[in-house]
Each structure stands twice: as structure tokens, then as C-alpha cells.
Amino acid sequence: MEFPYAEMHAFPDGQTPHTGNPAGVVMLHRDLPDADLLGVAQSNNLSETAYLKAMGEKDQWALRWFTPGLEVELCGHATLASAAWLFETGRVMGPEARFHTLSGLLKVIRLDDGRYQMDFPQIGYTPGQADAPVVAAMGGTAPEAVYEIERVHGNRYQMLVYADEAVVVGLNPDIKALAATRTNVIATAPGRATDFVSRFFGPASGVDEDPVTGSAHCTLAPYWFERLGETALKARQVGPRPGALEVRAGAAGRVLLVGSAKRYLDGVIRI
């Protein structure tokens, strides 16, 4: 069996090459067992591999996302990569791609400037307490604030807010120790050239560090909207492979993520 495959780099950092978050996009012409979907994701060894399958209605697609470790319920950069590939290859005929996912219906439109706007659900957060093993695994610098994030899959998600961008840039967590806490961490701080910066560490989900994480911005956006009193912000995910995006307030309970994706390679997966 052969399946069309593309690797896209989502949310690149301007025109700088080799930035943004790589995602694999696989077009399925038939269903595969989950073991095969996970196996391909492990072989790709990217933070996410997206699986698309055409539905009966125009421009509507079933979409699933797998890390090398498990299936996730929401992924931003691989949705952007999927939409960009569908638009570029003429598989979306109208102005909007619609994806049916574990997080409900996600919509992506192509803007006049060539970027893409994704309509995603906000992910809530509540005040939490600093967890000593998590703080130690992150390097020991005490965050200004800690929030618990509403997620599933049995793993805990926290957002650690730091005082300065330099702290987030300089983080060098002990990934093994962080994985032992079963906690994935969004680290964020006010930005210098952008409104805010972040990094995402997800060893509990099989990803040591995700370069530019769309789903994390479903929590980051409402947090920084409230803190800064704005409804449109520029964001940058820093770290070894940085990237940039914009976040905008959407309808009630929704957030709009705006970014671009670059097509890196095309091929065929044989199983």
C-alpha cells in the first residue's frame, strides 16, 4: 500500500531557513489500524504526523494526529501543515478547509497575504501551585505564576510564567526528570520584540521539546489577552528551532492562530 506524504515546516521564523515545526502529512485512501498510524509516526520521528482522509462533503476531511508516542486530541502546527498542503495541491476547492477531529470541527482559511488562519478552541487554565519536582526538572528557577491546563490523555499540563524572555530562552530542562513527573510544560514570558514568547516541553506525550506548538497557544492566547488587555498579539516560540505566529480573539471560546507553512519535501509511504 502506498500513501502520499509531505513534510511541511509550520510557523517558520520569517524567512530564516530550517525554522518552524516540522510535521508529516499523510493522505489516507483507506483506513489503517492505529498500530500502523503510530508506527509511521515513530518512523517519521517528527513531533506530529497528521493523517487526512477525505469525507463525503466538499473540502471536509477527517484528521488525526500522532506523536511518536501516542495520539493527541489537538495539534495546531500539523493542522496548519495539512491545510497548507491541501490548498497548495488543489485538494481544497473553496475558501475554507474543514477538519473533523477529536477536538471537534476546526476551520482553516487562506488569507490574502498567503498565510493561513486557523479557528481553534481555547484551552482553559486555572491557578495552580508550583510543583517542586517540576520546577527542579525545569532548572530550578522559580516561576512568577503557575497554571493548571485542562487536558486529557492522563498527563498533567502546566503553564509556568517567568519574569523575562531570557529565562525562557535559557531553559535547559532535565527531560528524564520532567517525564517522571508525567507533566508537560508550557514556559512563557513577556517578549522583547514580540508580545510574548514561549517554549513547550512534552516528554509525557513522547516529545521532548516541540518547536512551535499551535495547541499551546490555545492557552497562551487567552492568558496574554487578559494580561495585556489586547485581542491581537504577536508571539514567538523560542528555543533551538524558533518560529512565529499571531494570535487573535475569535468567537466566544475560540482563538484564531495565524501563520504560514513551507513545503519541504514530498514522497510516498509504503506499508
Contact between 237 and 13 under an 8 Å Cβ cutoff? The reply is: no
Residue in 48, 165, 209, 246 annotated catalytic: 48
- CA dist 224 and 172 (Å) reads 24
**Measuring CA to CA, which residue among 207, 154, 151 is closest to residue 178?**
207
Encode 142-172: b = buried (16+ Cβ within 10 Å), e = exposed: ebeebbbbebeeebbbbbbbbeebebbeebe
Q: Where are the alpha helices (DSSP H) in 58-182?
A: 77-88, 132-137, 165-169, 175-180
**Measuring CA to CA, which residue among 59, 58, 36, 61 is closest to residue 49?**
36
Contact between 247 and 221 under an 8 Å Cβ cutoff? The reply is: yes
| DSSP-assigned letter for residue 176 | H
- Give me the amino acid identity at 93: M
Pick left, alpha or beta for residue 84 (phi over 0 → left; psi -120 to 50 → alpha; otherwise beta).
Answer: alpha
Rg of the Cα trace of the chain? 18
Active site residue 48: yes
CB atoms within 10 A of CB 19: 20
Cell of 16: 530564516
Residues annotated as catalytic are 48
